[in-house]
Chain A
Amino acid sequence: MTKKMKLAQLTDMLQDLNVEALEGVTIEGDIELDISGGGGLNPELAYAIGNEISHMSLHMANIGRILGFPAEQLLASAFGMGEMPEMDPALARPTELMSSKFDVSKIENWRNKIQEVTIGATAADGGSRKSTVTIGGENALPYYFDAEMPHKNHYTMDVFDMPIGMAKAVKGNYEDVINDPAEWAKKVVREFNADMVTVHLISTDPLIHDTSAREAANVVEDVLQAVDVPIVIGGSGNPEKDPEVLEKAAEVSEGERVLLASASLNLDYERIAKAAIDYGHVVLSWTQLEINAQKELNRKLMKQCGVPRDSIVMDPTTAALGYGLDYAYTNMERIRLAGLMGDDELTFPMSSGTTNAWGAREAWMVKSPLNQDSDWGPREYRGPIWEIITGLSLSLAGNDMFMMMHPTSVQVMKEITGTLYGSIEADEIDIQNWIGAEV
């Protein structure tokens, strides 16, 4: 059947169409264009017809576009045009947002809680600390909405039992106390707001001063006298000497619930574990970037040595930003996820030796040793931020407590981890028009 209609009618009809109306439209039959005038076309009429036809095809093309056909490409190629014809895209867009609700589920298989561990003991518990520090207890990755994080992150600052080489930016803060561990400890607590103090007994290393375990224990006693926060006791890292040094230190700090750093697979961890059990301390279980080694050591500490679950903290090793932090980060994240998902050999809070960040040349060198590099800028600002970003990334991987060195780093870390934890209030800032902000 052939249906005859005027072009203008068709155009009008199409103009009335909108998206809603399209559903029921079918174009049936042929559309015959009956162009007749006798004796040739008069130019005015031809132009008028041309105009109608062109408009009509635009409308048609638009319908094609709404239906998902790339009509603009067809038109462009048909007329050899580089660009699509000026069409009002407003024709194709809704006038209101299509309302949609955002929804996301919580993670279901984070069912296992990380062990809570308390370091330090007050008089009520047989110690002499004024405060204690509790870490762990998480049911989710740090700061996630899935579950409230029960304890904030904690910061312990390093004190050494002898003067050591330090980056210039660090040293400036400690020159007045570098020969006196007790004063050094006081300074980090009073001036730099440390939650804990780590006393490193590095002079005990036979290759350094070979200080006796007894003498080293005196330093521990001095520090316990000087400050009333919980303390961490570190050896020299010498696997032969450390057990003896840490045993003696554990003995003189009986009841204070210190963190003994550390038990590892390459020394006699049984002696460290026994000292912790005998004198009521916590053991730092230290492995080197290897999740299976961490499981093994934790298992040995628990099963073989009988260390209670609430007395183990893990140190899976911290590598500096740019120097293996990717391994350290992922190792910790895997450990934490495995713990949350039910691996009871890994459900312990973690500690990071964030001070390692100062080993990165970017933290301490005056300038880049490579002449192809852009200027590295002033190192007094580079160092602390290197320590911050190293620690911060591990805080996101699940690390609970940080052993750190530079006061600015500790301050900024407390600010950002406290913010993510939710304990820091700040004036609300309106960012709606940030583009125009004067910065």
Chain B
Amino acid sequence: MKINSPLEAYKYLPATNCGECGEQTCMAFAAHLIDRSLKLEDCKPILDEKFKKKYDELTGLLAPEIREVEIGVGDKIARVGGDDVLYRHKLTFFDQTAFAYDVWDTMEEADLVERVNKIQDFRKFYIGEFLQVDMIAVRSTSDDPAKFAAAVKKVAETTDLPLILCSFNPEVLKAGLEVTKDRNPLIYAANKDNWQQVADLVLKYDVPVTLFSPNDLDTLKSMAVTFAEMGTEKIILDPGTYPTGKQLKETFNNFIKIRRAGIDGDRDIAYPIMAVPLTAWMAHDDPVDASYWETVVTSVLTIRYGDIMILHSTEPYAMLPELHIRDTIYTDPRKPVAVDPAMYKVGDPTSDSPVLVTTNFALTYYTVESDLDSNKIDCFLWAIDTDGLGVEAAVAGGQLTGSMVKKAIEDSGFDMKKDTTHNTIVLPGLAARLQGDVEDETGANVLVGPADSGRIPGWMEKNWPPENK
């Protein structure tokens, strides 16, 4: 974005402080535009015809440095790019890396459908939501337009996920486009040999395109400039993902160079970047080695600026860390670290229900809460103020102690003797060493729970209700 202070954005707003956007003043709204937590369209008055010029100008000023490209249609549409910074702490990264998993047109139809379903059904629950992957990339291994069209059609029938059509043969790409033209698929790829025919296709069908120029940034930029000149900026850049050795080091630096140039203001190269960690499979024969290496390359290039990727391994030991590293990098660092310290109810607890202690580190709290909730355990869950540290760190650093627990009890107004029949506190396993301390400070019975809240159900069966009421 070309401006960085609310004042600069404010100049373009209607300045009526009407409050329709939900903010008290236009200035407050302007601050949200600068940190990108609200969109200009949230100010309804500026959409009026009489502000059109200002609206257009401000839209231009607020546009992210890296263009945002849309792939697919409807609910599952994927937006890639859209970034404004090189480091997440400077603001946050936008549009998390889109993970596409491959299928190919020489697969048996039943295998194809099974693989697509496996990809689209994969899910991992994490802090209140499911982590999932985003796209299917259909590779033409047959180089036969009819075969490709048939495979693409089958995939499109099986899933609503956005598609990437992969071939260097324009005839094959055209056949795929004919059966998915209403799905806004991403074309992969134009290279230095086929770019004219691919340009004809993407202009005709009005779909986004990947430009592929392995380890040659001059040609990559030349292609981007040429495509923009021809009338499309729905461009994604693939500088090549080499899987090993010095070539991989160069790949890593190519990603950094492209993104740095884009954020620094070189509009000609300010597009989303594609990585293809799938190439790890060209370097490793053993499937576990290949999966590991693919996960490693995916992680490196998720951290350093890959906006969209084509992957192969659907092993959970590859997909789980990939989904988590992406979440790690794209989580908004401005979101609060801690939940309010308090006594929370999970389910519908009674005075016989257990009282479990945890910390107010948001991640810890939500993990424990979802474990309890999903296993239908009614209880009181006590989020102790540990300055937002996890249990282990808080015990080590002295933010979770017997006296802290006692103070938390007093502050919450919860009375162990009156509000429970058992006067028993369950400490997290990682705070086992505090058992005596907490007993001394609070006078309650203290039990030590499991080290991982995922094991609470099993622990409850053995230990609850407590024997010595």
Residues of chain A in range 335-394 having any CB-CB distance to chain B below 8 Å:
337, 359, 361-362, 365, 368-378, 381-382, 385-386, 388-389, 392-393
> Which residues of chain B are within 8 angstroms of A89 by Cβ–Cβ distance?
199-200, 203-204
Do residues B200 and A90 form an inter-chain contact, with CB atoms below 8 A?
yes
Which of chain A's residues have a CB closer than 8 A to the CB of B375?
Answer: 369
CA A112 to CA B363, docked complex, whole Å: 35
Asked if A98 is at the interface of the complex by the 8 Å CB criterion, the answer is: yes
What is the distance, in angstroms, from A414's C-beta to the closest C-beta of chain B?
A: 12
- Interface residues in A275-334 by Cβ distance below 8 A to B read 288-289, 317, 319, 321-327, 329-330, 333-334
Residues of B within 8 A of A361 (CB): 452, 454
**Minimum distance in angstroms from A402 CB to a CB of chain B:** 14
A426 on the interface (CB 8 Å rule)? Answer: yes
State whether the Cβ of A252 lies closer than 8 Å to any Cβ in chain B. Answer: no
Q: For residue B137, give the distance in angstroms from its CB to the closest CB of chain A.
A: 9
Q: Which of B259-309 contact A (CB under 8 A)?
A: 260-261, 264, 266, 268-269, 276, 278-279, 281-283, 288, 290-293, 295-296, 299-300, 303-304
Residue of B nearest to A291 (CB): B89
CB nearest to A324 among chain B residues? B363
Listed stretches B33-41, B48-56, B150-158, B239-247; interface member:
B239-247
Q: Mark interface residues in B338-363 (1 if CB within 8 Å of A CB, else 0).
A: 00000000000000000000000101
Contact with A along B129-158 (1 / 0, CB 8 A): 010000000011101000000000000000
Q: Does B45 contact A (CB under 8 A)?
A: no
Which listed segment binds A: B66-74, B108-116, B249-257?
A: B249-257
Inter-chain contact B249/A422, CB cutoff 8 Å: yes
CA distance A100 to B229 in the complex (A): 12
Looking at the complex, which of B16-24, B323-331, B410-418 is the stretch in contact with chain A?
B323-331
Chain A residues lying within 8 Å of B240, measured Cβ to Cβ, are 431
**Of the residues B87, B230, B276, contact of A434 by C-beta under 8 Å:** B276
A106 to B246, CA, bound (A): 20
Name the interface residues of B354-411: CB closer than 8 Å to any CB of A.
361, 363-364, 367, 370-371, 374-375, 389-390, 392-393, 396-398
Q: Are A266 and B398 in touch, CB under 8 angstroms?
A: yes
Name which of B3-11, B217-225, B441-449, B461-469 contacts chain A.
B217-225
A237 to chain B: which residues have CB within 8 Å? 396
Contact of A207 among B320, B329, B333, B433 (CB under 8 A): B433
* A266 CB to nearest B CB, Å: 5
Residues of B within 8 Å of A392, CB to CB, are 296, 299-300
* B393–A288 CB distance below 8 A: yes
**What is the interface of chain B mostly: helix, strand, loop, or mixed?**
helix
B282 contact set on A, CB distance < 8 A: 429, 431, 434, 437, 439
Q: A102 with B203: in contact, given A365-B452, A425-B246 (CB under 8 Å)?
A: no
B454 touches A369 (CB 8 A): yes
* Given known contacts A97-B219, A323-B390, A434 and B278 CB-to-CB distance under 8 angstroms: yes
| Complexed CA–CA distance, A386 and B324 (Å) | 10
Contact residue among A100, A330, A436 (Cβ-Cβ distance under 8 Å from B221): A100
Supposing A385-B317, A429-B243 touch, asked if A393 and B299 sit within 8 A by C-beta, the answer is yes
Contact residue among A90, A389, A428, A432 (Cβ-Cβ distance under 8 Å from B299)? A389
Q: How far is the CA of A189 from the CA of B248 in the complex (A)?
A: 28
Give complex CA distance A144, B203 in Å: 37
Q: How many angstroms between the C-alpha atoms of A420 and B246 in the bound complex?
A: 8
Q: Does A101 contact B (CB under 8 A)?
A: yes
CB-CB nearest in chain A for B397: A288
Nearest CB to that of B332 among chain A residues?
A: A326
Q: Say which one of B57-65, B75-83, B120-128, B419-427 lies at the interface with A.
A: B120-128
- A65: chain B residues at CB < 8 Å are 231
Give the number of residues in A that approach B within 8 Å (Cβ atoms): 86
CA distance A105 to B263 in the complex (A): 12
B57 to chain A, nearest CB (A): 19
Interface set, chain A 259-274, CB cutoff 8 A to B = 264, 266
Chain B residues within 8 Å of A432, by CB: 191, 214
A396 touches B222 (CB 8 A): no
Is A13 an interface residue when CB atoms closer than 8 A count as contact?
no
CA distance A239 to B395 in the complex (A): 11
Of the listed residues A94, A99, A377, A434, the one surrounded by the most CB atoms of chain B closer than 10 A to its CB is A434
Query: Is A435 among interface residues, defined by CB-CB distance under 8 A?
Result: yes
- Which residues of B423-457 have CB atoms within 8 Å of chain A's CB atoms? 433, 452, 454-455, 457
| Contact (A374, B196) CB under 8 Å given A98-B225, A321-B321, A429-B283 | no
The smallest beta-carbon distance between B450 and chain A, in angstroms, is 10
Q: In the complex, which of the residues A94, A104, A321 contacts B324, with contact meaning CB atoms closer than 8 Å? A: A321
The answer to whether B226 and A94 touch across the interface, beta carbons within 8 angstroms, is yes
A79 an interface residue at 8 Å Cβ cutoff? no
| Residue on B nearest A371 in the bound complex, by CB | B374
A374 pairs with B283, CB closer than 8 A: no
Q: For residue A412, which residue of chain B has the nearest CB?
A: B292
The count of residues in chain B whose C-beta lies closer than 8 Å to any C-beta of chain A is: 113
Bound CA–CA A65/B323 (angstroms): 43
Known: A327-B337, A370-B125, A396-B300. A97 touches B222 (CB 8 A): yes
CB distance from B41 to the nearest CB of A (A): 22
Chain B proximity of A286: nearest CB distance (Å): 9
B244 contact from A264, A321, A333, A429, Cβ within 8 A: A429
B392 lies within 8 A of A377 (CB): no
- Knowing A100-B268, A385-B321 are in contact, say whether A396-B303 is a contact too (CB < 8 A): yes
B199 close to A385 (CB less than 8 A): no
Give the docked Cα–Cα distance between A262 and B337 (Å).
26
Q: Is the CB of B214 within 8 A of A95?
A: no
The verdict on B166 contacting chain A, using a C-beta distance below 8 Å, is yes
Q: A396-B303, A435-B167 are in contact. Are A100 and B225 (CB under 8 A)?
A: yes
B455–chain A nearest beta-carbon distance, Å: 7
Residues of A with C-beta under 8 A to B397: 264, 266, 288
Contact B231 A370 (CB under 8 A): no
A419: Cβ under 8 A from any B Cβ: yes
Interface pair A439/B333, CB less than 8 Å apart: no
Chain A residue nearest to B318 in the complex (CB): A385
Q: Given the complex of chains A and B, what is the CA–CA distance between A89 and B200 in angstroms? A: 6
Tell whether A239 pairs with B203 under 8 Å between CB atoms, given A98-B222, A378-B317: no
**Residues of B close to A435: CB separation below 8 A:** 139-141, 166-168, 188
Q: How far is the CB of A432 from chain B (nearest CB, A)?
A: 6
CB atoms of A420 and B249 under 8 A apart: yes
Q: Which of B245, B281, B300, B324 contacts A439 (CB 8 A)?
A: B281
Contact of B256 among A144, A376, A378, A412 (CB under 8 A): A144
Q: Which residues on the B side are within 8 Å of A377 (C-beta)?
A: 315-317, 320
Q: Given A321-B324, A396-B303, A425-B246, A101 and B256 touching (CB < 8 A)?
A: no
Tell yes or no: B195 within 8 A of A by CB.
Answer: yes
User: Across the interface, which residues of B come within 8 angstroms of A321, CB to CB?
Assistant: 321, 324-325, 328
Q: Can you spell out 29 A-B residue pairs with CB atoms less than 8 angstroms apart? A: A94-B226, A97-B195, A99-B222, A100-B221, A237-B396, A288-B393, A321-B324, A323-B363, A326-B331, A329-B329, A359-B392, A361-B452, A365-B454, A368-B124, A374-B121, A377-B315, A388-B321, A389-B295, A389-B299, A392-B299, A396-B304, A412-B293, A419-B249, A422-B246, A435-B168, A435-B188, A436-B139, A437-B281, A437-B282
Please name the 5 residue pairs, one residue from A and one from B, whose CB atoms are nearest each other, closest first: A426-B245, A369-B454, A377-B316, A439-B281, A102-B217
Chain B residues near A (Cβ < 8 Å) = 87-89, 121-126, 130, 139-141, 143, 166-168, 188, 191-192, 195-196, 199-200, 203-204, 214, 217-226, 229-231, 240-249, 252-253, 256-258, 260-261, 264, 266, 268-269, 276, 278-279, 281-283, 288, 290-293, 295-296, 299-300, 303-304, 312, 315-318, 320-321, 324-325, 327-329, 331, 333, 337, 361, 363-364, 367, 370-371, 374-375, 389-390, 392-393, 396-398, 433, 452, 454-455, 457
